[in-house]
Structure 1
Amino acid sequence: MRLEACGGLWGQLLPRPRRTLLGQRVENWVLMVREQYITTTEGTHIERPGNQSVCKIGIYGWRKRCLYLFVLLLLVILLVNFALTIWILKVMWFFPTGMGHLRVIKDGLRLEGESEFLFPLYAKEIRSRMDTSLLLQSTQNVTLNARNSEGEVTSRLKVGPKMVDVQSQQFQINNKDGKPLFTVDEKEVVIGVDKLRVTGPEGALFEHSVETPLVRADPFEDLRLEAPTRSLSMDAPKGVYIKAHAGKIEGLSQMDIIFHSSDGMLVLDAETLLLPKLADGTWSPAGSSQSLYEICVCPGGKLYLSVADVDTTCHENSHVCL
C-alpha cells in the first residue's frame, strides 16, 4: 500500500508520456478493478504495519520560513531601489528633454543659467541667446585652444588677471560686415579703420618708420611731429604736402632743417617771405641808406644779407661764407 500511494502521488506529479489507445484502455481497466476492490473491502478491517511512512510533497519547517524571509528581503530591496531612483531623478532634474539646466534641442545642447566645468570642454560652436551675453569667468585664467587633426595646438588665446596672451600666426579683428579692422602677423600690423585716434597725452611713439597717406589732428588742435633725440624724415615718391587751414606751420630743429628735391625745384610762394636771422654783410657803398638788401648764397648753400647796390655786392661780403 505504501508503494502504491507514493507511486500514485509521484505519478500525478511527474509528467506522463503520451498515451496510446491501448494504454488508455489498460488504465481504464486498472481503475475499474481498484474501485471494485475498494467497494468489496469497505467494511472489513485490515491491520497495517506499524512502520508505515507517509510521502509528503512541498517545503515545510525552517526551509519555508527562510524562503518567505528571502522573498520579503528581495521585496524590501526592490522598494528601496525604486525610491532611490525616483530621488536621483528628482535631485538631478532629469527630464525627457535633458538634465538640470541642460536641454537637448535640434541644433545641439542648450544650457540655461550658470554652469561650472571641471574638465576641458570640446565644442564646435558656443553662442549665447539672442537677448543675453556670453560670459566666460575663471578665478585663474580662461584659455581657448585650437587644434589640428593631429591634436597639436595651432592657436591659443589666454586671458589672465594681468595680461591677454595670443599665440597664433595671425591675429585679426573684423567688424560685423567682415571687413578687417586690425591685423597682426610676423611681418606687419595693418589697421583698416578710416581714422586712427590716439588720445594719450604724449601721442603715439614709433620706434621705426610709419607709412600713412594722411596725418591730421583733431579740429582746433595742434599737430606736432617730434623726434626728441634723433632726426625726423618725411619721404614720399610724389612729394610731401603740408597744409594748415587755420594757423601757422612751424619747424624747429636743434641743428639743421634740410629741404631736398632730387628732380625739381623748391618753391616758396607767399606774400611775405621773412628770414630774420640771416647773416649781415659789413660792406656798404658810400652814401647808402642800407634800406635794401640782397640775399647772397654761399657755395655751400648758406644764405646771408648784403646791402643792395646797382650791382651785386655779394662778392664784397663773401667772407661770411668762410
Structure 2
Amino acid sequence: MVQEQYVTTTQGGGGGGGGGVVRPLPDHVYKIGIYGWRKRCLYLFVLLLIIILIVNFALTIWILRVMWFNSDGMGLLHFHSDGVKLEDGESEFLLPLYAQEIHSREDSSLRVHSTENVSLNARDDDGDVTGRISVGPREARGDTPNLLISSHNDNMLLSADGEQTVIGPGKLRVTGPEGALFQHSVEVPVLRSELFKDLTLESPTRSMSLNAPKGVHMKALAGNIEAASMDIILQSSIGLLVLDAETVRMPSLPLSEEGVPGNPQGLFEVCVCPSGKLFLSKAGVTSTCSEDQDC
C-alpha cells in the first residue's frame, strides 16, 4: 500500500507579519493492486490452467506410448519415401482407403477381412466409378465393361464383355455331376469327354440338332455311339449319307408278309419306300418288295 501526503502553505494575516504558517493536511491513502475476491479468483484460474496443462501433457505422453510413435512412423507402421509399410499385425480402416498399389510381404499372403462386404472401386478423372468388385456374405459381384483374367506369363485365360466370352486355354473342364447347361446354342470346334469316361449330350424336353457347314464327325474309337430319341433324322443337303463300318445292323426293321414263302436259306431283302421307310421282305429270285403292303 502506498501512502501519499500533501502539505499546504497558507498566508498569515495582520501585523505585517510576512511569515507563512505550514499546516499539515489529513493523509489520503490510495491502494494499488488486486485484493479481495478478485485476487482469489485470479489464483484459482492460474491453478486451473496449471492442472489442465499437466493433464494435457500426461495424455500426450500416454498417446505416444500407446500408439508407439517413433522417428520412422507409428509402431509397426513405417513411413518411407516410396510409401507406407506395415511390418506385422493387422490393420483396420474405418474410412475409405485410397492407394495406388497394395503389396503383401514376400513370405505371406494379402488378406482383406470385413464383417459386411469388401468393395474395390476404380474411378476416372471425374470421380465416376468405372469398375467395381464387391464381395459380400451372400454373393460376389463385379461390374465392369470388360473382364480379363490372365496367367502369370500374361496369357489370356478368360475374356468377357457384353457380346461374348472367350476362354483362352485349349481345354474347358466341367467337373460338376450334372455337366454343363447351355440355354442357347454352343459353337465349339471339338467336343470330347475325359479319358475312360463317356460323353453324353442330352436335351430332356426339347430337340437336339448338330449343324456344321463342312460336316459333322462323330468318333468313338473304344466304345459305341448311341442315339436315343422318338425320331432320329440324318439329313445331308448336298452329297451322300455314308455309313462306313464292317457291320451295319438294323435289328428292329418290320417284316413284310409278302415274299417267297418257305425260303429255306432264311434270307431277307431290305426294301425302301419312297417315303424313306425301311422294311424286310423274304428274298427271292427277283425283288419281293411290295410298295402297297408296307409303304
Q: Calculate the TM-score normalised by the size of structure 1.
A: 0.72
Q: Deviations over 1:206-244 (max 9, x none)?
A: 111111122222222111111111111111222111111
Which ranges in structure 2 are unaligned for 5 or more consecutive residues?
1-23, 26-31
For residue 87 of structure 1, what is the amino acid of its counterpart?
W
| Residues 276 and 126 of structure 1, relative CA distance in 2, 3 Å threshold | same
In structure 1, the partner of 2:292 is 319
Given that 1:304 and 1:320 are in contact with CA atoms closer than 8 Å, whether structure 2 keeps it comes out as no
In structure 2, the partner of 1:247 is 223
Of the three residues 135, 138, 163, the one matched with 2:139 is 163
Give the secondary-structure state (helix, strand or coil) at the position aligned to 2:257: coil
Which ranges in structure 1 are unaligned for 5 or more consecutive residues?
1-49, 52-58
| Residues 120 and 307 of structure 1, relative CA distance in 2, 3 Å threshold | same
In structure 2, the partner of 1:54 is none
| Residues 311 and 96 of structure 1, relative CA distance in 2, 3 Å threshold | same
Give the length in aligned residue pairs. Answer: 263
Which shifted more, 96-105 or 155-164? Answer: 96-105
Deviation at 1:190, TM superposition (A): 1.9
For residue 244 of structure 1, what is the amino acid of its counterpart?
A
Runs of 4+ in 1 over 3 A off after TM superposition: 59-62, 72-87
Identity %: 53
**Greater RCO between the two (CA within 8 Å, min separation 6)?**
2
In structure 1, the partner of 2:12 is none
Query: Is the radius of gyration larger for structure 1 or structure 2?
Result: 1
Give the secondary-structure state (helix, strand or coil) at the position aligned to 1:250: coil
For residue 95 of structure 1, what is the amino acid of its counterpart?
N
Q: Which has the higher helix share?
A: 1
Instruction: State how 1:33-44 maps to structure 2 within 5 Å.
Output: none
In structure 1, the partner of 2:103 is 127
In structure 1, the partner of 2:242 is 267
Q: CA separation in 1, counterparts of 2:112 and 2:183?
A: 36
Give the secondary-structure state (helix, strand or coil) at the position aligned to 2:259: coil
Given that 2:256 and 2:294 are in contact with CA atoms closer than 8 Å, whether structure 1 keeps it comes out as no
Instruction: State how 1:133-152 maps to structure 2 within 5 Å.
Output: 133-152=109-128
Deviation at 1:182, TM superposition (A): 2.0
Q: CA separation in 2, counterparts of 1:242 and 1:234?
A: 11
Q: CA separation in 2, counterparts of 1:61 and 1:127?
A: 67
For residue 282 of structure 1, what is the amino acid of its counterpart?
E
Q: Deviations over 1:92-113 (max 9, x none)?
A: 2111111123211232111231
Give the secondary-structure state (helix, strand or coil) at the position aligned to 1:88: helix
Given that 1:172 and 1:184 are in contact with CA atoms closer than 8 Å, whether structure 2 keeps it comes out as yes
Instruction: State how 1:288-303 maps to structure 2 within 5 Å.
Output: 288-289=263-264, 291-303=266-278
For residue 251 of structure 1, what is the amino acid of its counterpart?
A
Q: CA separation in 2, counterparts of 1:124 and 1:311?
A: 90
For residue 100 of structure 1, what is the amino acid of its counterpart?
G
Given that 2:260 and 2:288 are in contact with CA atoms closer than 8 Å, whether structure 1 keeps it comes out as no
Q: Calculate the TM-score normalised by the size of structure 2.
A: 0.78
Given that 1:142 and 1:158 are in contact with CA atoms closer than 8 Å, whether structure 2 keeps it comes out as yes
Give the secondary-structure state (helix, strand or coil) at the position aligned to 1:282: strand
Q: Deviations over 1:8-65 (max 9, x none)?
A: xxxxxxxxxxxxxxxxxxxxxxxxxxxxxxxxxxxxxxxxxx99xxxxxxx9998xx9
Computed over aligned residues only, the root mean square deviation of the Cα atoms, in angstroms, reads 3.0
| Residues 290 and 231 of structure 1, relative CA distance in 2, 3 Å threshold | farther
Q: CA separation in 1, counterparts of 2:60 and 2:163?
A: 62
